[in-house]
Each structure stands twice: as C-alpha cells, then as structure tokens.
Amino acid sequence: MTSPARRTRATEAFYGRRKGKTLKVPQAAALSELLPVLKLDLENPAPEQIESLWPKPVSAVRLEIGFGGGEHLLHRASTMPDTGFIGVEPFINSMAKLLGNLESEGLDNVRLYDDDATRVLDWLPDACIDHIDLLYPDPWPKKKHWKRRFVSGVNLDRFARVLKPSGRFCFASDIDTYVNWTLTHIADHPDFEWSARKAADWREPWQGWPGTRYEAKAIREGRTPCYLEFLRAA
C-alpha cells in the first residue's frame, strides 16, 4: 500500500494534465524566479504557528485547492490583505499566470504549491485553517474515474483535521452529479454540516464572489452553478 508521504499519480490522480501551451517569456520568468520564493517547503515540518509563513501578521488563513485561472484567489487576496492565502495548482500555465499577476499587484499574502494538494493537507498542523475553497474541481464525469474526485471520505478527514472548529469548506460546481456526490459524502461525515437553510444559500454565490472564467463558460453553455458551504463541527 502506498504511504501518505509517497502517493503517486497511479494511486491518487486528482488532477489531469500538468502543462499546456508554451509559456510566454514573462510567465516563464515569474515561474522560475518567484515560485521558489513563495512555494511551501514540504521537505521540512510545518511551523507550529502557520501564520508565520507570511511576512506580515495575518488574522486568518485560507486554502484554495485548484485555483485554475486564479481569478478568485487573486481577488480574495487583494481585498483581504489581513488574511494569509495558500493556493494549490498543479497546472503549470495557471501557476505562471497567477505568479505574474501577484508580482504586478505587489501582493505578499499568498503562498503556493504546484503539486498534489493532499501533500499540503498532510503537512499542515491540526486546526490551523479558517476556510477551504474547492471551486469547480475536475468532475471526472466517467464512473470509472469517480475515485479521482477530490471530495472523498479520506479527503474530508483531511479537511476536518486542518480546519479550525466552525471553519468553513466551500464547494462550487456546475455538474449535478458532483454536487450530489459531495452532499452525499458530507451527509456521511460526522465532522461537517451543510449550512444551507433556504434555496438561495446554494443558488447564489458567496459574498464578495468575483466569478471565474470557468463559471462564465458554464453559464454560457446552459449549466447552473451550485454553491455549497459546510461548517466544521465545533
């Protein structure tokens, strides 16, 4: 059995391809020069006080898994300067794009990781995260690939360990089967509760939501986004 520290694409392939078109020169430069500065060092133990990852004091810590084009992460980081953000994205082109934007906007409250998010979750200390975002993750629509969906009992255990009591896990998707899949897994997990009390709670995005490129495409193609928020039991 593969240990948590030595997972491979063959055992937990939560993401697809790693690279797309050839990077533009500025993007390649940002990737080679800035990523080493901002990348989490998982070779060493995480600091007991995770807030020390950022150069300025932060009052909360958020984790975004698979930030894609980076629109949401960049917006939140720019409007919430007192929050420390950890963004995880294995797709090189997306990472390079975000790095270029971080540099141009001068943001210093973001730290990054460019591989499997479960490694970050296993590295983090207990109860150190205030909020986790999993926004429009790959739905892996074929039944034989459902095991690759990031929402699973094992990963919800990981979320429960790193989230603070009453911390939030936010999930967005336009794929009905993945929405139902997530609700079913949450219902089976003792440490999470769906916060919705009325239909608007899952039909309308969260406060300050900037939208994403993928979301706009989904709406153009006639799919309806769903926004789910879950609370970590206190």
Residues recognised as catalytic: 138
Q: How far is CA 171 from CA 28, 111, 146, in A?
A: 31, 21, 17
Mean pLDDT of 5-25: 55
Tokens of 220: 């153009």
Phi-psi region of 127 (alpha: psi -120 to 50; beta: other; left: phi over 0): left
User: Do you know the residue count of the chain?
Assistant: 234
pLDDT digits (tens, 9 = 90+) for 38-55: 999 999 999 999 999 999
Confidence band of 14 (pLDDT split at 50, 70, 90): low
pLDDT digits (tens, 9 = 90+) for 134-171: 999 999 888 888 889 999 999 999 999 999 999 999 99
Angle, CA of 152, 157 and 163, to the nearest 5°? 120
- Contact yes or no for 61/129 (Cβ under 8 A): yes
**Residue 120: closest CA among 191, 62, 166:** 62
pLDDT on residue 28: 80
pLDDT on residue 82: 97
Q: What does the domain layout of the chain look like in residue ranges?
A: 45-232
pLDDT above 70 covers a percentage of the chain that reads 91
Q: At which residue do the structure tokens 């059995």 appear?
A: 1
pLDDT digits (tens, 9 = 90+) for 218-233: 999 999 999 999 999 9
Residue 8 has pLDDT above 70, yes or no: no
pLDDT on residue 6: 42
Q: CA-to-CA distance for 157 and 7, rounded, in angstroms?
A: 17
- Of the ranges 20-24, 97-101, 186-190, which one carries the lowest mean pLDDT score? 20-24
CATH number of 45-232: 3.40.50.150
**Residue 13: closest CA among 24, 28, 29, 2:** 2
